[in-house]
Amino acid sequence: MKVHFLGTAAAEGFPNPFCLCKACQKARTLGGRNIRSRTSVLFDDVLKVDFPPDFFHHAIRYQMDMASVKDLLITHTHYDHFNPYDLYNRIEGFAHGIEQPLQIFGNDLAMQGLHQALPASQEHKRFAYHRVLPFKEVVTQTAKITPLLADHDQMETCLLYYIERNGKNILYGNDTGWFPEDTWEWLKGKKIDLAILDCTGGFNSDKRSRNHMCIETILEVQDVFQHENMLEENGQIIVTHFSHNSGLLHEDFVKAFQPHGIQVAYDGMIVYL
């Protein structure tokens, strides 16, 4: 399975265009993997997670064939993960040669946002909307998915996804702090080939941080994975969704995680399972 990290930054991007902190200034100077757009991942060029404001940039930079993407999973409706107005460019008259609707899965707020942003006449022609519920398995065109509860925005049912495709199991754990107990309970006995985890924060003594994970939280999650024997023999953990407020650049995260065998994602990174 091909896993393509299109963007790897938190909401403001990295560097934040308006920010003059040391991390942002140094990122501008060094460039390369320190320049991060908003987070999204594409699996096998057909299954996409989240639809950030940097979608057009991603499509052009990576020569993505978005007409071939069959399923879109939305984790929550914060602006860096859900920009439905760009989907307007997929409607009839704007996009040509599209034969099948894009299947979109998300919570009730995501469904409401789609209905507000897109013409009702395009539903079933260019889009199909599917409201999903935590812990209720859904079979899509490209995978079997189970939405899981995140600990992120207390005013929204934010979701993580357990994705089963072509014999591989992926835990998409972003955005969230320490997983809710119901999510941990569901994960018991499950196997994971790849866990993609939120590392918005840098170093923090709170190993079970709320809303977003930090380096210590990631390591605590890894400990649970190992204790519960969740990771497959060659299972991987990859961290993403980095914020300039961490004060850390790409190499700083690499130094922190390399001794633990955890990979640090960067924009454009591709891994194969």
What tens digit of pLDDT does each residue of 224-268 get?
999 999 999 999 999 999 999 999 999 999 999 999 999 999 999
List the one residue out of 67, 39, 14 whose CA is nearest residue 174: 39
What tens digit of pLDDT does each residue of 73-104 get?
999 999 999 999 999 999 999 999 999 999 99
| Whole-number Å distance between alpha carbons of 194 and 5 | 13
Residues 205, 207, 208, 213, CA torsion sign: positive
Instruction: Evaluate whether 161 touches 172 at the Cβ level (below 8 Å).
Output: yes
CATH architecture for residues 2-272: 4-Layer Sandwich (3.60)
Quickly state the pLDDT bin for 198 (edges 50, 70, 90).
very high
Instruction: Specify the pLDDT at position 206.
Output: 76
List the one residue out of 48, 76, 72, 75 whose CA is nearest residue 62: 48
What tens digit of pLDDT does each residue of 6-23 get?
999 999 999 999 999 999
Write the DSSP assignment of the chain as a string of letters: -EEEEEE-B-TT-BS-TT--SHHHHHHHHH-GGG-B-B-EEEETTTEEE-B-TTHHHHHHHTT--GGG--EEE----STTTB-GGGGGGGSBTTB-S--SPEEEEE-HHHHHHHHHHS-GGGBTTTEEEEE--TT--EE-SS-EEEEEE-SS-TTS--EEEEEEETTEEEEEE-S-SSPPHHHHHHHTT--EEEEEEE--S-S-S-TT-SSS--HHHHHHHHHHHHHTT-EEEEEEEEEE-B-GGG---HHHHHHHHGGGT-EE--TT-EEE-
Instruction: Specify the pLDDT at position 74.
Output: 98
Sheet holding 2-7, edge to edge: 127-131, 102-106, 71-73, 47-49, 40-43, 2-7, 270-272
- 205 pLDDT more than 80: no
Instruction: Specify the pLDDT at position 54.
Output: 98
Instruction: Specify the pLDDT at position 13.
Output: 98
Quickly state the pLDDT bin for 209 (edges 50, 70, 90).
confident
Mean pLDDT of the 55-77 span: 97
Task: Name the residue ranges covered by the structural domains of the chain.
Answer: 2-272
What tens digit of pLDDT does each residue of 142-165 get?
999 999 999 999 999 999 999 999
- 207 pLDDT more than 90: no
